[in-house]
Amino acid sequence: MTFEIKKFNPAEMGMPLGLYRQISRVRASEFIFIAGQLSVDRSGAVVGKGDFEAQMRQVFANIGDALHSTNCSFANIVKITTYLVHSQDIELFMETRKKLFPTLFPDGGYPPNTLIIVDRLVQEEFLIEVDTTAAL
Amino acid sequence: MTFEIKKFNPAEMGMPLGLYRQISRVRASEFIFIAGQLSVDRSGAVVGKGDFEAQMRQVFANIGDALHSTNCSFANIVKITTYLVHSQDIELFMETRKKLFPTLFPDGGYPPNTLIIVDRLVQEEFLIEVDTTAAL
Amino acid sequence: MTFEIKKFNPAEMGMPLGLYRQISRVRASEFIFIAGQLSVDRSGAVVGKGDFEAQMRQVFANIGDALHSTNCSFANIVKITTYLVHSQDIELFMETRKKLFPTLFPDGGYPPNTLIIVDRLVQEEFLIEVDTTAAL
């Protein structure tokens, strides 16, 4: 099976409310499921206590490490789900995404995202968790 | 690969607590991942402020548009996750589903659903978000 | 297509914060999507009101029933998402997992997990819901 992934905003739908595509469509021979990533370093220590942008950057660095370990890149991501703890961080999430994503997804192939504000993550310090599915 | 999707309630399990099937089983050559859909029209304006049923209908209309843009229909959905903001809307969600789903899924092939009540969605006005995975 | 599933912690990443693997990688011909499972028996009655461990055991028993109905076992799980209602139950979740998972996953093939604390589930009595994707 030839790998093919298309991420797009169909004319039938409104534009996304941010840097994501409404749809990804994938023909793949393998799927990669990554555990929800938090802002920890390799020793498991929390990175960026109280600093949302630092946490978000660490989370995507961890996702990058996960992808590279399977010979994938961010282009292989087919869907993400983003959980934030504070609605006050939504704007900062949007701003950090604008800074970060054009580098991670240089061809503009932003994956579909679902953004949810929840009560808490596994430890009180964590401000963001990202769940990722990729394909190849 | 021949496309085949089965949605069923196995005898080993209890009946679902609503209009969904416990399991979907799919043999597919392509998967479609749709960003979490909110109650917006094509211009991005919120539809149905303070009206849960109107929002839920708009959300599923948007999912329908997403499916049609990939030559799929609701029958291609393999899983949904539904996020509500207010537990007071759970009953209205069940009632609206009873009105809406027999039309969207005329053969009774309701997809497995996970229903979660969360703090908030991307904007305060949104009362429901639905995350959809489809296959073909 | 030959079925193959690998669950691992790549050297590039930190160790998981519990009994899960950072990544699952799967080459499969079929996917199984299971509706979020709650602590109900086959009659739909709530099991273990106010008893987190009892609820968690029932939830995984239900997931086991779902898997068996498709000729799968826990080894076929590629991803789970765990929703808890009370952050006070996180420790009990970790402890119950340590008791339960070595039996359910005897080869240590723990699936990637995303743990989220949310407001509520479909009924007030439910303390945990688990969403499962499997492959074969």
Contact C104, C113 (CB under 8 A): no
User: Is the pLDDT at B1 greater than 60, yes or no?
Assistant: no
Minimum-distance CB partner of B119 among A27, A118, A133: A118
Give the integer Cα–Cα distance in Å for B76 and A4: 19
Question: Tokens 């548009």, residue?
Answer: B65
How close is the nearest chain C Cα to the Cα of B43, in Å? 31
Whether chain B has a CB inside 8 Å of the CB on C134: the answer is: no
pLDDT digits (tens, 9 = 90+) for C13-30: 988 988 999 999 999 999
Q: Quick check: C13 and A44 CB within 8 A?
A: no
ipTM exceeds 0.95, yes or no: yes
Q: What percent of chain A has pLDDT over 90?
A: 93
How close is the nearest chain A Cα to the Cα of C42, in Å? 30
Q: Residue C2: what pLDDT?
A: 78
- The DSSP bridge partners found for residue C1 are none
pLDDT digits (tens, 9 = 90+) for B15-44: 898 899 999 999 999 999 999 999 999 998
Give the integer Cα–Cα distance in Å for B25 and C34: 9
Q: Residue C1: what pLDDT?
A: 56
Local confidence band at B85 (pLDDT 50, 70, 90 cut-offs): very high
pLDDT digits (tens, 9 = 90+) for A32-84: 999 999 999 999 899 999 999 999 999 999 999 999 999 999 999 999 999 99
3-state secondary structure of B100: helix
pLDDT digits (tens, 9 = 90+) for B40-69: 999 989 999 999 999 999 999 999 999 999
3-state secondary structure of C85: coil
Whether chain B has a CB inside 8 Å of the CB on C70: the answer is: yes
Q: What is the mean pLDDT of chain B?
A: 96
Give the CA distances from residue C94 to residues A35, C53, C56, C123, in Å, rounded to whole numbers and listed in that order. 16, 10, 11, 23
| Single-letter amino acid, residue A122 | V
Minimum-distance CB partner of C32 among B17, B25, B111: B25
Two tokens at C62? 């239900």
Per-position b or e across C30-68, b if 16+ CB within 10 A of its CB: bbbbbbbbbbbeeeeebbbeeebbebbbbbbbbbbbbbe
Q: What is the mean pLDDT of chain A?
A: 96
Two tokens at A126? 């964590």
Local confidence band at B14 (pLDDT 50, 70, 90 cut-offs): confident
Whether chain B has a CB inside 8 Å of the CB on A78: the answer is: yes
pLDDT digits (tens, 9 = 90+) for A1-14: 579 999 999 988 98
